[in-house]
Structure 1
Amino acid sequence: MTKNIYFNRWFSTAYHYMNMIRDNPDGENFVCYGSHPDPGHLSLQACDYAEKEPVLQGTEYVDYAVDFCKRNRIDVFIPRLMMLEIAKEASRFDEIGTKVMVCRDIPLLERMIEKDLFYESLQGTDVVPIPEYYVAETASQFKDAYEALIEGGHKVCFKPTNSEGGMGFRVIDNDRNALKDLYGWVGSSISFEQAYGALSSVERFPKLMVMELLEEDEISIDCLADGNGELIVAIPRRKSTGRIYELEDDPELAAIAARVAARCRIPYAYNIQVKLNKGVPKLLEINPRMSGGLYITCLSGVNMPYLAVKTILGQPFDKPVPLLGIKASYLELPVLMKES
């Protein structure tokens, strides 16, 4: 029986995930639906049906999503935008027969979205090491945090407590050359004086995490769990030089994934990001959704998007065994755009 899958306002890499679900090894039939404010967004090019999404907030957005699912008889809704708002009203989707791939533990989801709250919840546990950090909402708090970290022997960075990817991330570098910067690549570095000056222009700003800079490799651990948060498989993906990634068989990273799963019980597909400092993997964040780079991880032979759908539909499958110890990369893919 054909199942309808809906992705709302996703990253462009959702293009891959829709195709992985549709082109599954079991020959199961799926129809992919998508919505986005930009009707030319690349993710929509993988959809069988797509529509322009209105720009709404809160309950009004949930109203739209419920209506979309009802109109299109959606079986599985895989949200990225407004996950928290959707989770809070998940029962509305239950009533129309749509399964929503979202964490329904609202306090946990709130903590994962607000990174400082999640760090606070893990302090004093042995789940995963936490970088030294402070939360600042005023310029004076920012200055105090910066000075405390410098005194502790750290390089310093900062980012909003509520952001995705590298949005708002900056590294404090006081040795930058302004003229050289004009002729170089645009980067994430900023001097303390520049940052402090900008933050001093307002009495209070949205919360920033001021923290130790983790200077070594970044690792994403893509995880798949059942509806109760029982871990099925975890695949570490180390970002190497350039566009090179390594899918690693690392007991320490596997142990981190197991401890996170045991404590948090996050369902379906999610992503743990850690970064090394002096050889120690420290937590960056946990994304309660499929990661932007999951399509690289799936080169291990584990089709996580499809297995996540099978999981939420209650369809059994053998525990996947990933191929690890491999290197992978990616190239741009030309795509002929559909007529909108």
Structure 2
Amino acid sequence: MNKINIYFNRWFSVAFHYMNLIRNNEDGIPVQIFATHPDIRHMSLQGADVAGTEPELEGIEYVQFCVDFCRRNEIDIFIPRLHMLDIALHVSMFDAIGTKVLVCRDLDLLETIMDKGKFYENVRQTGIMTIPDYHVVSTAEQFRAAYEELVAEGHQVCFKPTETEGGLGFRIINNSRSPLQELFGHVTSQISFEEAYRTLASVDSFPNLMVMELLDGYEYSIDCLADAKGALLAAVPRRKAGGRLRLMEHIPELEEIASRVAETYRIPFNFNIQMKYSGGVPKLLEINPRMSGGLHISCLSGINFPYLAVKSALGGEVQPAGFAGNVLASHVEQPLIMRINGESVITDSP
């Protein structure tokens, strides 16, 4: 059987695990994994059979780099993260060379999902799940008005950019904090209203911020698998359980939310829904139309999310999958000798 060539462009370090999950697939399908990153010593490349550097480009120039890479290396499946929207916009260029791309092809939906403000409004209209109270602002005075309204409704307040990944830019407003104590302690995500307002007022306007109620319950990351047409095949709710512990557990209302999201938006392959409870009600944080940073933990449920997405993209039959019972998991560091394309990396440079 010929090897299937799979390409990851610039990913997070956890792509190392995705690559090994695909390589060690339950069907014994042989794969050859290619990966690129601007830093040839990046951890994600340690899971690849063939690693290379990629240029710092944007827009069509970056897409053309990926197309050329796929053509030269006869890539069957491309799993993008960086510049996903640009790649989706020009996905026909990959179709033309026979490379299947694991990306949502609904450009309007993809663009909306990547802007939290637009997506919250979309979800509000569908009514498929509860969203937090929020306001989108771009000036200091709008920020003040949003903050005061949320406080008047009894909320503690937080804010974050509408277009960001992970926790970048997330801040909690806390007016009782002690800057002196924090100077001698851990760096925190907390800031007073006056500090935030003063910083934002230093410019006439700024990129959109979402000012919203702070949710105080458990946060769940629901890892989802769908086929190429967006039909849901698996959903695993996962939460932190103290320290390094992670708990995958059956939560019927979260699994039902995953079903409604799939039915409404038809996001193909791997996607992730982040929810957080408040007053016993799960509320939306965001949806990521890609593999999540903790997906390798969810795979301990017995569902090989990355490989099954690849199998589905190649036209293979993938049956709906579930997990038998709750799974408590954790992780430890594993030392590795750094290698590039099978060779040890030896360098005098820092």
TM-score class, shorter-chain normalisation, is over 0.9
Q: For residues 37 and 57 of structure 1, what CA distance do their matches in structure 2 show?
A: 13
- The residue number in structure 2 matching 1:209 is 210
Quote how far apart the aligned CAs of 1:317 are.
3.3
**Cα displacement string for residues 55-77 of structure 1 (whole angstroms, at most 9, x for unaligned residues):** 00111110111011111110000
Matched to 2:298, the amino acid is: T
Matched to 2:23, the amino acid is: R
Matched to 2:204, the amino acid is: E
- The residue number in structure 2 matching 1:63 is 64
Matched to 1:105, the amino acid is: D
Contact kept in structure 2, 1:217 and 1:240, CA below 8 Å = no
Matched to 1:118, the amino acid is: F
Quote how far apart the aligned CAs of 1:263 are.
0.6
- The residue number in structure 2 matching 1:259 is 260
- The residue number in structure 2 matching 1:285 is 286
Quote how far apart the aligned CAs of 1:240 are.
2.1
Q: For residues 216 and 332 of structure 1, what CA distance do their matches in structure 2 show?
A: 29
- The residue number in structure 2 matching 1:107 is 108
Q: Please say if 1:20 is aligned against 2:21.
A: yes
- The residue number in structure 1 matching 2:147 is 146
After the TM superposition, which parts of structure 1 deviate over 3 Å for at least 4 consecutive aligned residues? none
Quote how far apart the aligned CAs of 1:331 are.
1.4
Q: For residues 125 and 52 of structure 2, what CA distance do their matches in structure 1 show?
A: 47
- Please give the residue correspondences for 1:320-339 in structure 2 after superposition, counting only pairs within 5 Å: 320-338=321-339, 339=344
- The residue number in structure 2 matching 1:88 is 89
- The residue number in structure 1 matching 2:235 is 234
Quote how far apart the aligned CAs of 1:178 are.
1.1
- Please give the residue correspondences for 1:187-198 in structure 2 after superposition, counting only pairs within 5 Å: 187-198=188-199
Q: For residues 48 and 292 of structure 1, what CA distance do their matches in structure 2 show?
A: 21
Instruction: List gaps (5 residues or longer) in structure 2.
Output: 346-350
Q: What SS does the aligned partner of 1:4 have? A: strand
Contact kept in structure 1, 2:233 and 2:319, CA below 8 Å = no
Quote how far apart the aligned CAs of 1:126 are.
2.8
Q: For residues 146 and 231 of structure 2, what CA distance do their matches in structure 1 show?
A: 38
Matched to 1:208, the amino acid is: L
RMSD (CA atoms): 0.9
Quote how far apart the aligned CAs of 1:332 are.
1.5
Q: Please say if 1:275 is aligned against 2:276.
A: yes
Instruction: List gaps (5 residues or longer) in structure 1.
Output: none
Quote how far apart the aligned CAs of 1:121 are.
0.5
Quote how far apart the aligned CAs of 1:242 are.
1.7
Quote how far apart the aligned CAs of 1:151 are.
0.4
Matched to 2:259, the amino acid is: A
- The residue number in structure 2 matching 1:10 is 11
Matched to 2:88, the amino acid is: A
Q: Please say if 1:177 is aligned against 2:190.
A: no
Q: For residues 252 and 43 of structure 2, what CA distance do their matches in structure 1 show?
A: 37
Q: For residues 301 and 147 of structure 1, what CA distance do their matches in structure 2 show?
A: 47
Q: For residues 338 and 140 of structure 2, what CA distance do their matches in structure 1 show?
A: 47
Quote how far apart the aligned CAs of 1:319 are.
2.9
Matched to 1:117, the amino acid is: K
Q: Percent identity?
A: 56
Quote how far apart the aligned CAs of 1:324 are.
3.0
**Cα displacement string for residues 313-332 of structure 1 (whole angstroms, at most 9, x for unaligned residues):** 01113332323312111112
- The residue number in structure 1 matching 2:348 is none
Contact kept in structure 1, 2:35 and 2:52, CA below 8 Å = yes
Contact kept in structure 1, 2:136 and 2:211, CA below 8 Å = yes
Q: For residues 167 and 182 of structure 2, what CA distance do their matches in structure 1 show?
A: 20
Contact kept in structure 1, 2:226 and 2:267, CA below 8 Å = yes
Size of the alignment, in residue pairs?
340
Matched to 2:16, the amino acid is: Y
**Cα displacement string for residues 270-291 of structure 1 (whole angstroms, at most 9, x for unaligned residues):** 0000011111110000000000
Matched to 2:79, the amino acid is: I
Contact kept in structure 2, 1:18 and 1:47, CA below 8 Å = yes
Contact kept in structure 1, 2:258 and 2:273, CA below 8 Å = yes
* Most deviating of 179-188 and 322-331: 322-331
Q: Please say if 1:311 is aligned against 2:312.
A: yes
Q: For residues 306 and 323 of structure 2, what CA distance do their matches in structure 1 show?
A: 14
Matched to 2:82, the amino acid is: L
Quote how far apart the aligned CAs of 1:91 are.
0.4
Quote how far apart the aligned CAs of 1:124 are.
3.9
Q: For residues 41 and 65 of structure 1, what CA distance do their matches in structure 2 show?
A: 18
Q: Please say if 1:50 is aligned against 2:51.
A: yes
Matched to 2:95, the amino acid is: D
Matched to 1:137, the amino acid is: S
Q: For residues 52 and 265 of structure 1, what CA distance do their matches in structure 2 show?
A: 34
Quote how far apart the aligned CAs of 1:210 are.
0.3
Quote how far apart the aligned CAs of 1:254 are.
0.8
Q: For residues 240 and 200 of structure 1, what CA distance do their matches in structure 2 show?
A: 39
Contact kept in structure 2, 1:127 and 1:259, CA below 8 Å = yes
**Cα displacement string for residues 156-195 of structure 1 (whole angstroms, at most 9, x for unaligned residues):** 0000000000000000011111111012111111111111
Contact kept in structure 2, 1:3 and 1:75, CA below 8 Å = yes
Q: For residues 54 and 126 of structure 2, what CA distance do their matches in structure 1 show?
A: 42
